[in-house]
Amino acid sequence: MNTDHILRSFDKALNKNENLILEMGGLVEQQLKEATRALKKEDAKLSKKVLLSHNNIREMEAKINASAIQVLALRQPVAMDLRNVIMSLRIAGHLERIGQYTKNMARRTHTITKADAFTGSISTLVRMSELVQDMIKSVLDAYNTLDTSIAEEVRGRDEDVDHMHNTLFRELLTYMMEDPKNISGAMHLLFIAKNIERMGDHTTEIAQEVIFMVTGEWPVEKRPKGDKTSRMIFGPEDLGADSDQSGS
């Protein structure tokens, strides 16, 4: 076996790994798109379909892990090739987590749809999800083209997701205070919002790993982070409730 053949075989193994990442990313994109459509249309049947589709994503992660381990064991890559293989393992892990959060989103959509529960703020949730979908598409493009400028852009856009999450948190708490009947449905929507916010975080982590894969260095500046919901405490006056209403 001559050297050229060995190099071609190595390139083929690396390309296989990269294609598996892109395929898995495409599945995650599609799963989130369908989960968002199920939420928007309050479609219990479609949300159930999303729940079942997560097995395909887990199978893809297993394939990527096996492929990467095989390359490490047989090829002993160095420099960018080594970073490429190691980052593929980490990226696959992030994609699986995004898929898991999408599954959780679909499960809660199925619950509130079947129960005919409160579904205010869905339009805002849909816009938040669409922003994350765009981020996922962009970060996969960055991975495929080794474009660090696109990856940097994705890092910055996560702050927009955080701001939308803050707004939704406040908005849904207002609905719950206005009418106790809204509490059950609004709680599920709060969890969906948090699921989407975490998807944005994992997508941003992928962007940082693309930058490291290409340059060999992690981004120096910390990524913008605007999620404040863990530190928010509101009273009736903060949420716009009428303080004299209880005495009327």
pLDDT single digits (tens) 133-182: 999 999 999 999 999 999 999 999 999 999 999 999 999 999 999 999 99
Rounded-to-integer distance, Cα 174 and Cα 29, Å: 32
For residue 15, pLDDT over 90 is answered with yes
pLDDT single digits (tens) 178-199: 999 999 999 999 999 999 999 9
Confidence band of 243 (pLDDT split at 50, 70, 90) = very low
What are the residue ranges of helices labelled H in 42-78?
A: 44-75
Rounded-to-integer distance, Cα 196 and Cα 187, Å: 14
Average of pLDDT values for 86-106? 97
For the chain, the domains span: 3-233
pLDDT of residue 109: 94
Rounded-to-integer distance, Cα 231 and Cα 118, Å: 25
Confidence band of 226 (pLDDT split at 50, 70, 90) = low
pLDDT of residue 2: 38
The structure's pTM equals 0.87
pLDDT of residue 242: 41
Matching residue, tokens 């994350």: 132
pLDDT of residue 245: 38
pLDDT of residue 116: 83
pLDDT single digits (tens) 38-71: 999 999 999 999 999 899 999 999 999 999 999 9
pLDDT of residue 3: 39
pLDDT of residue 96: 97
The CATH code belonging to domain 3-233 is: 1.20.58.220
Rounded-to-integer distance, Cα 5 and Cα 195, Å: 46
Confidence band of 222 (pLDDT split at 50, 70, 90) = confident
